[in-house]
Structure 1
């Protein structure tokens, strides 16, 4: 689908939108939600506490935009990658690298199996796409693959659980029709209404990669979460 270039954006711009909104979300989730709001001097001031709580909720809602964009970019990456095996291994590697910072920021412990970071969600989604592509034209086998993927997301308790895997599957299924991809994707995230906004920049994606930032997100994710975790431990101990 060709778009007026004056109103189109590249994959680089999409990724930056996702990274910025994710950062806003994580500052809200970790620095406010897991740190500042639990401090006695904040809780003893009702007005300040309520204002910070509102700020927390606003930041979390802004952050809902990020996940649909990352899912869309994963589907695009799967379509265009020259080596899907290396792509999957890279996601899995950074899933393990990111888990300790994620657990520290979320619960203050080095290991917490109650929830796994977003890289595990993306890894499972990519594996589902790989398997589904091998069953092209075999609807029953593809459906089984989709169900198994959602079950894995649920049992492993990855970020966004089985609904995150479901979104990835929807975006993969409609990967060759942007209109259907955007509309069905938006419907599939109605349980997080603010996430629908993520499909606005996706609609204007022009299919061009833009500036290369291959490893920036991979390292940005664990590093920024680790920084937020350290800030909490130093300034907002619980």
Structure 2
């Protein structure tokens, strides 16, 4: 009997739509508020859209872990994330900073890549069966902290907490209930609206759904570039969104 619920592609669509809503607010509406004149109604819309956008990241973290567990080639998976992180950086910087290249803050693909590398390092340590439990525990903890430090040092989107949330999903991968409970705890104190992401995550049915393997990879830089072109046409292209 086929398990009911949401497929991986359904989760991706939810994440993409909520991310788009968030980015419209964070690039277009914020510039109107800052440089076109403050409007209370528009500001309230901005806050609602940003809160809706908090749903996206936990879903992407969850899907990253699912992909990591099922991919046939983890190195190729990491290379793909790295390539799209590089490709997305210029559209990301244009959309949010009005510059071709801004090294002070990096796009979310870098966070996902560091989360993936942290999972790889964690597994490499835990698979050393000849090592003592204490040694594996200590080194795996160091691997997680190193991933978090790298994200913070590189100023990636969501930073150290982003990598931590990815690892929470991975550490509790054998229990959906535990993923939801501890995932909520990881997010609620710094992004309260993100807890709503755990409703569709809970109903994930383990199925891939229809093929959209590269859709998000392409959508991310393309939609950021389109948003930049919109603010450029509005006359705000050369000023930062935040």
What band does the TM-score fall into relative to the shorter chain?
Answer: over 0.9
Taking the TM superposition and a 5 Å limit, the aligned residue runs for 1:72-221 are 72-136=62-126, 138-190=136-188, 191-221=190-220
- Equivalent in the alignment of 1:29: 26
Gaps of 5+ in 2: 127-132
Structure-1 separation of matches of 2:44 and 2:104: 26
Please, what is the CA RMSD of the aligned residues? 1.3
Which residue of 12, 15, 18 corresponds with 2:15?
18
Structure-2 separation of matches of 1:130 and 1:176: 17
> SS of 2:212's equivalent?
coil
Report the CA distance between 1:3 and its aligned residue.
9.1
Structure-1 separation of matches of 2:3 and 2:194: 25
Structure-2 separation of matches of 1:172 and 1:182: 12
Gaps of 5+ in 1: 44-48
**Runs of 4+ displaced beyond 6 Å:** none
Report the CA distance between 1:39 and its aligned residue.
3.2
> SS of 2:205's equivalent?
coil
Report the CA distance between 1:236 and its aligned residue.
3.7
